Amino acid sequence: MLNHLTRWVDRNILSLGREMRLSYLPPLMVYLAYGISGLTGIVGTFFVKDYLGLSASFLAALGFWAGIPWALKMPIGHAVDLLWRWKSWLVGLGAALLALSLGIMAALIGNREAMTAVLPAETWYVLSVLLAPIGYVIQDAVADAMTVEAVPTVDEQGRPFAEQTRKLMHTTMQTLGRVAIIGGGILVALINVYVFTGVEGLPQADIARLYYRVYLMAMVIPVVSVLGVWVAWHLRRRQLHQLMGQGFSRDEARSMTDARESSEAAEPNWWILGGSLVFVVFTLAAGFSRLDYSEEIVFLGSMGIVLFLMIKLVRELDADKRATLVGTAVVVFIFRAIPGTGAGTTWWMIDELKFDQQFLSVLSLIGSTLTLAGLFIFRRFMAERSIAYVVGFLTAVGTLLSLPVVSMYYGLHEWTARMTGGIVDARFIALIDTALESPLGQISMIPMLAWIANSAPANLKATFFAVMASFTNLALSLSQLGTQYLNDIFVVTREVRDQASGALQTPADYSQLGSLLIVQLALGLALPFAAIAFAKITRFKSA
């Protein structure tokens, strides 16, 4: 038994460390920057709840608009392919947008009067929320393509790697990418736990100063991503000199260190670029027109444009790979389109269950740590199972693990506390539920990313990554729309008071939250299995 466990640990965990290569580091640093972006998550939640009068439905709608830049990842990815030699400037542009977004929030908290003299606090918040994803999507498109560049085609002596070895390296690279994102989440959760220690009972002014410090610390995020590009340049230069020292010419060494040197240069796809221009103009026009159902109009138009561009692009694949890509995309799309419950659930936990900033930070720490462990535990599971199987597994287990939150709304924690002398209370249940649910969060995307990295044409890797990202990120936009609909039907409000006078503007009302939780749970179970059934009974299939 012990030998079996030792072999399993070696095969699923230790082997990943042995397979780590220095060349993987640059994209991992960009992914790490995205991971540590969660540093401001808890602060943002409490800031919106305590200082802004935005409804749960409005926040869901804002989430929809914030997701639109991710739907533009297709043209951005294609631009990365076309401008690959200048990728460092693209990362720098993304870093500048992130710094501006974080700076707005820091100034809004640290010098609210001066900021609100120019624009209302809600407007500054919306601007910050919309700027951040633009920066992240630019950097993410570059990082996705850098993962392909990071996997070497030859060993130290210039000998090509076998196809199976390269496939394993791509899977390892994509797994380490998720590890970097989650590792960043663990780091910021630890910081939040430290920062918010003893926050209960502090005056509101002192809490605001803590929020301000967190946003200033977050300024390290754009710095880390820019450092990743510098490391990539340094490593490639070193490898180039090593190969030239072994007798290879400069051109031969360059073709060995960058697959793009030995493949045809990417040609502009005017369908993608032109269609994307239409997409941007269409989205901006609908957004500024203030039409009724503007979100729905933008989503349907965006989906039509993205599907049109996808049809043009997948012609680069043979028939079998094309069917696999379509089937995989449908399953992942539906899985990611499941609507959430919105901000009301967190407000209820804060107001009714008395979860404070530090406890939510502890939950985040447990969640991130166990998610990282889950990547190691389920690594072989992801490599050996189809995406349809993985999604079905995640759906079934995720539904079971959502039941405790629903049950707590109806008093489960009160009953368990009475039965156990106060030991199994709301916090205990939340800790256990988070511990069980966390390892499942980052699993579904890894097999698909590895399949694209291994199967897409060499000169269009970033474009194919971006195609799937645009399509599946539109699923997140649909999820936000669904969340908005649910919050329009089941209205959940927290107490809102005027910041100047303290007068009550909106009373807290969580009476409809139970129905919201149940409906969301049912949708989360039914929709993914419907997508899996589609993939099984049609000519399409999943990777």
Torsion of CA 326, 331, 334, 340, to 10 degrees: -140
Domain borders along the chain are: 22-268, 290-340+380-426+433-491+507-542
Q: In whole numbers, what is the pLDDT of the chain averaged over residues?
A: 79
Residue 154's pLDDT is 65
pTM for this one?
0.75
Residue 252's pLDDT is 64
- For 304-309, which contacts have Cβ atoms below 8 Å and span 24 or more sequence positions? 305/275, 305/276, 305/278, 305/279, 306/71, 306/74, 306/279, 306/470, 306/471, 306/474, 307/471, 308/271, 308/275, 309/74, 309/271, 309/272, 309/275, 309/276, 309/467
Residue 462's pLDDT is 60
Residue 487's pLDDT is 93
Residue 486's pLDDT is 93
- For 297-301, which contacts have Cβ atoms below 8 Å and span 24 or more sequence positions? 298/68, 299/64, 299/474, 299/477, 299/478, 299/481
**How many angstroms separate the most distant Cα atoms in the chain?**
78
As a whole number of angstroms, the distance between CA 428 and CA 434 comes to: 10
Is the backbone of residue 155 left (phi > 0), alpha (psi -120 to 50) or beta?
beta
Torsion of CA 412, 413, 418, 424, to 10 degrees: 130
Question: SS3 letters for 107-142?
Answer: HHHHCHHHHHCCCCHHHHHHHHHHHHHHHHHHHHHH
As a whole number of angstroms, the distance between CA 120 and CA 143 comes to: 35
As a whole number of angstroms, the distance between CA 453 and CA 460 comes to: 10
CATH code, 22-268: 1.20.1250
The SS3 of residue 143 is: helix
The pair of three-digit structure tokens given for residue 230, joined into one six-digit string:
């510098």
In the numeric block, the tokens 């869901």 are attached to: 60
Instruction: Name the DSSP class of 354.
Output: -
pLDDT in tens, 410-424: 988 889 888 888 888
From the number of C-beta atoms within 10 Å of its C-beta (0-12, 13-18, 19+), residue 270 rates as exposed
As a whole number of angstroms, the distance between CA 304 and CA 296 comes to: 12
Residues 6+ away with beta carbon under 8 Å from 541? 323, 324, 327, 328, 386, 535
- C-alpha of 321 from chain center: 26
- Phi first, then psi: give them for residue 42, nearest 5 degrees: -70, -40
**pLDDT tens digit at each of 543 positions of the chain:** 677 777 767 776 677 667 777 778 888 888 888 888 888 888 888 888 888 878 888 888 888 888 888 777 777 777 777 877 777 788 889 899 999 999 999 999 888 888 988 988 889 999 999 999 899 888 888 887 777 777 776 666 667 666 667 767 777 777 788 788 888 888 888 888 888 887 777 787 888 888 888 898 888 888 888 888 888 777 777 777 777 777 666 666 666 566 554 455 667 777 777 777 777 777 777 777 777 778 888 888 878 877 877 787 777 777 777 777 777 778 888 888 889 888 888 899 888 888 888 888 888 888 777 777 776 777 667 666 777 788 888 888 888 888 888 999 998 888 988 888 888 888 887 877 666 555 555 565 666 566 566 556 666 666 676 667 677 778 888 998 999 999 999 999 888 777 667 777 788 899 999 999 999 999 999 999 988 888 878 766 555
Residues 6+ away with beta carbon under 8 Å from 244? 250, 253
In contact, 198 and 286? CB cutoff 8 Å: no
As a whole number of angstroms, the distance between CA 75 and CA 470 comes to: 9
Residue 158's pLDDT is 63
The SS3 of residue 154 is: strand
In contact, 260 and 459? CB cutoff 8 Å: yes
The SS3 of residue 196 is: coil
Q: Count each helix (H run) and each strand (E run) in the chain, helices first.
A: 25, 2
